[in-house]
Amino acid sequence: MLQPNDLPLVCLPVDLSDEAAAKLVEFLHELTEALERHYGAPLKRYYHPSDIAQHDLDRPPEPTDPPF
């Protein structure tokens, strides 16, 4: 038996004209680009955790003594 979480997130129409299909795909590309811009830093940390760890190692240590 289907549970509420088993249902598809989006119900896509079966019969779309060529123009409608092209517009739908264009919209989805634009949405994806907007999400990648907005969540760019978290996505980079998630997909490339070793890059972030290496970047942290390259940083000079914080000074422990006060300058005066």
- Please list the pLDDT of the chain residue by residue as tens digits (68 residues): 666 666 676 777 888 999 999 999 999 999 999 999 999 999 998 988 887 555 555 566 666 766 66
In a domain, 12, yes or no: no
Q: Are 54 and 47 in contact (CB under 8 A)?
A: no
Using CB atoms within 10 A of its CB, is residue 11 exposed (0-12), middle (13-18) or buried (19+)? exposed
User: What's the total number of domains in the chain?
Assistant: 1
In a domain, 31, yes or no: yes
In a domain, 47, yes or no: yes
In a domain, 2, yes or no: no
In a domain, 25, yes or no: yes
Cα separation of 22 and 16, whole Å? 9
In a domain, 8, yes or no: no
Cα separation of 30 and 22, whole Å? 12
In a domain, 48, yes or no: yes
The model's pTM is 0.55
Structural domain range at position 37: 17-57
Cα separation of 34 and 27, whole Å? 11
In a domain, 52, yes or no: yes
